Amino acid sequence: MRIIPAKKPAAPGEAEFIPQPDDLKRRALVVDGDYDQAAEPAIRRAQKALERVRERSRDALAEGGARLAGAFADFERSPRSAGRRERLFRAAHDLRGLAPDLGEELAGRIAGSLARLLGYCPAASLALIRAHVDALRASLRDRDDPLADEVAAELERRSNDAIAGASGGEARS
């Protein structure tokens, strides 16, 4: 970086013109004129980088699933414990954010449904929570199950019904 000392202020009524660098003008014309062609290599590089991140982060997804399973095992021993419920909620919420970024949209949907259920329905049935955890484990283990979308939709529907029943109105999505 080069520091250029400021010029002395211009006299009143005198204007100072700052010339635009020629190379910026040339670059702007290239990008404006050939945007698709200029953007294509950058998009390909970004997609390759995302794939590398996904490959490196597969372990993080498995760790998130294990953390959720551990939190559920603790919660199952004492379902009325606010701390254990919070830990299970956090594990589900973390998976909800992580899974879609790593290409596991189904696991993200199920984790999101579980997080909503735990967040909005204080008296959610243990069976429904267990169904979510089991479905999450299955979705992370077997990624090509043809019934998985139907299971996720049913879990979301049941969660929304439980939330609506707990709040006395419509469930939030």
Answer for the pair 131, 125: CB distance below 8 angstroms, yes or no: no
Query: Is 42 within the bounds of a domain?
Result: no
Query: Is 8 within the bounds of a domain?
Result: no
How far from 41 is each of 35, 47, 50, 124, CA to CA, in Å?
Answer: 11, 10, 14, 50
Query: Is 97 within the bounds of a domain?
Result: yes
Query: Is 18 within the bounds of a domain?
Result: no
Q: Which helix (H) or strand (E) holds 91?
A: helix 82-101
Q: Quick: pLDDT tens for 77-101.
A: 998 899 999 999 999 999 999 998 8
pLDDT for 102 equals 83
pLDDT for 51 equals 83
Confidence of residue 20 (pLDDT cuts 50, 70, 90): low
Query: Is 12 within the bounds of a domain?
Result: no
Label residue 103 left, alpha or beta by phi (over 0 means left) and psi (-120 to 50 means alpha): left
The CATH number covering residue 74 comes to 1.20.120
Q: Quick: pLDDT tens for 108-147.
A: 999 999 999 999 998 899 999 999 999 999 888 887 778 8
Number of domain units in the chain: 1
Checking if the pLDDT of 160 tops 50, the result is yes
Query: Is 75 within the bounds of a domain?
Result: yes
Q: Quick: pLDDT tens for 38-84.
A: 778 888 898 898 888 877 777 888 899 999 999 999 999 998 899 99
Query: Is 130 within the bounds of a domain?
Result: yes
Checking if the pLDDT of 4 tops 80, the result is no
**Where in the sequence is the domain holding 113, given as residue range(s)?**
49-167
How far from 18 is each of 7, 10, 15, 140, CA to CA, in Å?
Answer: 12, 13, 10, 60
Query: Is 135 within the bounds of a domain?
Result: yes
Checking if the pLDDT of 172 tops 50, the result is no
The label of the residue with tokens 């707990």 reads 166
